[in-house]
Amino acid sequence: MGALRWHFLLQCLEDLQKNLCQLGSCLLVIQGEYESVLRDHVQKWNITQVTLDAEVEPFYKEMEANIRHLGEELGFEVLSVVSHSLYDTKRILDLNGGTPPLTYKRFLHILSLLGDPEVPVRTLTAEDFRSCRPPDPGLAERCRVPLAADLKILPESTSPWRGGETEGLQRLEQHLTDQGWVASFTKPRTIPNSLLPSTTGLSPYFSLGCLSVRTFFYRLSNIYAQAKHHSLPPVSLQGQLLWREFFYTVASATPNFTKMAGNPICLQIGWYEDAERLHKWKTAQTGFPWIDAIMTQLRLEGWIHHLARHAVACFLTRGDLWISWEEGMKVFEELLLDADYSINAGNWMWLSASAFFHQYTRIFCPVRFGKRTDPEGQYIRKYLPVLKNFPSKYIYEPWTASDEEQAQAGCIIGRDYPFPMVNHKEASDRNLQLMKQVREE
Ligand code: FAD
């Protein structure tokens, strides 16, 4: 987990602490390994119930099992609640004969048998916290939300994202006031290189539990009910939430979901191992401005648009570099604010045509893709200021400018900004053949 996400998480906890305070309660943050923390506190604080989010990730499944054992030993009750996802994935698996549905269409069919998800938990009030008296001020001070410096996290960067339920709710309300936008939302038509997010930008808030997906789902249902027409899954906003559920469901029942080896749904591919090329991709030195601008936004801000994720994921894997999706997933895991075990791995498998998606002949061009929605290259100028003085006709391929034009733009390719690391046409043709071969085998 990178520094940006740490800062975001600490902001979330501070916001939670503030909101609980307003309700007459407070948040105690205890640092340490969960088992010893529980052992130390159960008797001391007379803990009778431990409540946790039911999760699909193996680490948390194991944690829940361990906590249950501990509960039997130490005498506390464990309440595990499905709240990070809309549905209990076990119910979906049961209806599909115990296996995960591997297409979105099949998944929607199963959901139609289940009906709407549970309604969201109501908003808590001070009344709910009547019996949760704030502990003595000394304890509250000892168990305060840690500062980034306490955890030796690098100082705050300039990310425009701020963590917390308050911010998440504000963002939600902002989007929902434009009901026409909500009703007509069509994901492929949103713009990957707009200077402000063209989608909701709610993923970091869902990811860290600041915002309830059910609240979002039902607010959308209310807007759809009032609209004459509205878009539908897979492209609608509710459809996006269902993609999330889809990946949670498949991940919950697939061993080694974040790996190629031992993963029964993943195509086994002999990807190249090339640390130098991987490093260039990760550090925005591919020489393709569209790719490098996206990787810069990811590093500086921790969020990039879905189609921008498509562009860089395809480039790293089946498009240009033929490097394993696992490597890309790890970089995203470190840098994304919304990094998520199931969604990240699922989408990387998708983009690399290792699972779910099989139209592998469709390879994104690192020059033409971004041009369609931002012909002037404003996005590139923002994130790669070294290129900002190039005329628009060169901004996506500055190496084609003459020496004089480069000098005029104040940026010599090969000195101030790299030449493209591959010839896209040759690399993508070769990779296409490789992919055909793998599939035939
Ligand atoms: P919106 O379009 O406004 O959608 C609303 C919500 O729906 C999102 O917040 C998200 O929770 C969910 N959603 C949208 N698209 C998807 C999708 N394709 N799959 C699953 N859920 C979706 N998303 C993550 O939350 N965490 C990740 O680690 C992650 N890794 C990704 C890796 C790759 C290679 C790709 C191509 C996509 C990845 N995504 C991931 C999915 C998607 O890009 C983001 O969820 C989305 O861009 C977040 O922006 P938003 O909140 O504005 O989305």
Residue 203 within any structural domain of the chain: no
Using CA positions, which residue lies closest to atom 9 of ligand 1? 203
Q: Is any atom of ligand 1 closer than 6 Å to the C-beta of 197?
A: yes
Please check if 241 is assigned to a binding site.
yes
Same domain, 430 and 288: yes
Name the token pair of 408. Answer: 């005029």
pLDDT in tens, 106-138: 999 999 999 999 887 777 888 888 877 777 888
User: What is d(CA 211, CA 203) in angstroms, rounded to the nearest whole number?
Assistant: 9
User: What is d(CA 327, CA 325) in angstroms, rounded to the nearest whole number?
Assistant: 5
Per-residue pLDDT of the chain (441 residues; tens, 9 = 90+): 899 999 999 999 999 999 999 998 889 999 999 999 999 999 999 999 999 999 999 999 999 999 999 999 999 999 999 999 999 999 999 999 999 999 999 999 999 999 999 887 777 888 888 877 777 888 888 999 999 999 999 887 768 899 999 999 999 999 999 999 999 999 999 999 999 999 999 999 999 999 999 999 999 999 999 999 999 999 999 999 999 999 999 999 999 999 999 999 999 999 999 999 999 999 999 999 999 999 999 999 999 999 999 999 999 999 999 999 999 999 999 999 999 999 999 999 999 999 999 899 999 999 999 999 999 999 999 999 999 999 999 999 999 999 999 999 999 999 999 999 999 999 999 999 999 999 999
Residue 181 within any structural domain of the chain: no
For residue 42, the Cα-to-chain-centroid distance in whole angstroms is: 35
Residue 106 within any structural domain of the chain: no
Q: Is any atom of ligand 1 closer than 6 Å to the C-beta of 185?
A: no
Residue 208 within any structural domain of the chain: no
Residue 149 within any structural domain of the chain: no
CATH of the domain at 303: 1.10.579.10
In order of 353, 363, 389, 405, 408, the CA distances from 412 in angstroms are: 37, 29, 12, 9, 9
In order of 66, 228, 250, 300, the CA distances from 178 in angstroms are: 46, 15, 33, 29
Using CA positions, which residue lies closest to atom 8 of ligand 1? 203
User: What is d(CA 115, CA 214) in angstroms, rounded to the nearest whole number?
Assistant: 14
pLDDT in tens, 363-417: 999 999 999 999 999 999 999 999 999 999 999 999 999 999 999 999 999 999 9
User: What is d(CA 256, CA 161) in angstroms, rounded to the nearest whole number?
Assistant: 32
CATH of the domain at 71: 3.40.50.620
User: What is d(CA 211, CA 251) in angstroms, rounded to the nearest whole number?
Assistant: 22
Residue 179 contacts by C-beta under 8 Å, 6 or more apart in sequence? 223, 226, 227
Residue 435 within any structural domain of the chain: yes
Residues paired with residue 78 on neighbouring β-strands, in sequence order: 50
Name the token pair of 256. Answer: 């080694």
Same domain, 432 and 286: yes
Whole domain around residue 337: which residue ranges?
A: 275-440
Residue 188 within any structural domain of the chain: no
Using CA positions, which residue lies closest to atom 30 of ligand 1? 344
Number of structural domains, the chain?
2
Strand bridging mode 77-81 / 49-53:
parallel
Residue 243 within any structural domain of the chain: no
